[in-house]
Amino acid sequence: MPLVSVVFPTPGGDRMTSGQSSGRTTRSALPAPPHDPFFRAVTAPAFTHELLAGLAAGRYAAVRVPSFLPRERCDEVLGALRQQVFDSYGKARVDPPVMRFGVGVSDHMADGGVADTYWKALQGHHESWQGLGLSFDPFRTCREALAAAWPGGVAVGRRGGVEMGDGVAREPNQGFQVHFDDALREYDGDLLDEPLIGQFAFNLYLSVPPEGGETVLWRHRWKPEDEAHRLSARYGFDESVVAGAESIELAPEVGEALLIDPRFFHAVRPSHGDRRIALGFAVGIGTSGQLLTWA
């Protein structure tokens, strides 16, 4: 039975895990705000069909698998990446800057679609990853683990019959602004050849800081009035957009895999003391029942 960890707001902005004492006397304590029992993070030794289906159905907000990738394999990928020069997402759109190794489709959005520059950049992406000389393909390893838990299997998604990118290494040492990810809202029509009926975000942590770097999810999904909080010309929102919303804060661990429902507003806190490097890609549930990944 998976272990369940739930974090919810307490008065004054503190966060408290279920079962943890607030340290206040009963007399001075304020009533806890209402809690949604389905807004929770589940920790388990492996991904299972039940957990993935639960995430898709909204029974969970996140699924964590500690030690998903053995430490020696994390170190192999990390050692190779440390020798590389990372690019950054376009600073006009993503600020504070987020470093990356590999290509992300979000940097090649154009008029509600995908610019031709994405496909050209993907050629260099594949050459760069092959040039690392790894003994295994980390993105394939991640897909295979998900496929073992999903009857419909997993494949890299296609657009116009051509495979999308399979993943990217990201280093948000200064954090990610509050944002959400939803291909349905970000693109005109379908991003992939196969329409999507659900979406996850996958991360595998290779390096984590001793302090900071937490992923925060809020029980808040996009509403039209949220646009008043959008940061000018950027992808994110001012944190006031989630004021008062229930939240979960997840500290990363080396080798841990994390799946979240990215339609919940979420952010990454700044890191202190070391680099925060994770492999990541999007996961969609296609109308055929297959899981489709892209980056």
Distances (CA, A) of 187 to 220, 239, 270: 21, 24, 29
pLDDT of residue 255: 99
CATH no., domain 36-294: 2.60.120.620
pLDDT of residue 30: 65
pLDDT of residue 140: 99
pLDDT by residue for the chain (295 residues), tens digit each?
444 444 444 333 444 444 333 333 334 566 777 899 999 999 999 999 999 999 999 999 999 999 999 999 999 999 999 999 999 876 767 778 899 999 999 989 998 999 999 999 999 999 999 999 999 999 999 999 999 999 999 999 999 999 999 999 999 999 999 999 999 999 999 999 999 999 999 999 999 999 999 999 999 999 999 999 999 866 899 999 999 999 999 999 999 999 999 999 999 999 999 999 999 999 999 999 999 999 9
pLDDT of residue 40: 98
pLDDT of residue 202: 99
Sequence-ordered list of residues with C-beta below 8 angstroms from that of 66, at least 6 positions apart, any chain: 43, 45, 253, 255, 256
Q: Where are the domains of the chain?
A: 36-294
Q: What is the rounded CA–CA span in Å between residue 195 and residue 30?
A: 46
Distances (CA, A) of 112 to 40, 161, 190, 227: 33, 19, 10, 18
pLDDT of residue 88: 84
Tokens of 85: 């020069």
pLDDT of residue 152: 97
pLDDT of residue 6: 46
Q: What is the rounded CA–CA span in Å between residue 200 and residue 16?
A: 26
Is the Cβ–Cβ distance between 156 and 281 less than 8 Å? no
pLDDT of residue 97: 84
Q: What does DSSP assign to residue 46?
A: S
pLDDT of residue 7: 44
Q: What is the rounded CA–CA span in Å between residue 200 and residue 70?
A: 23
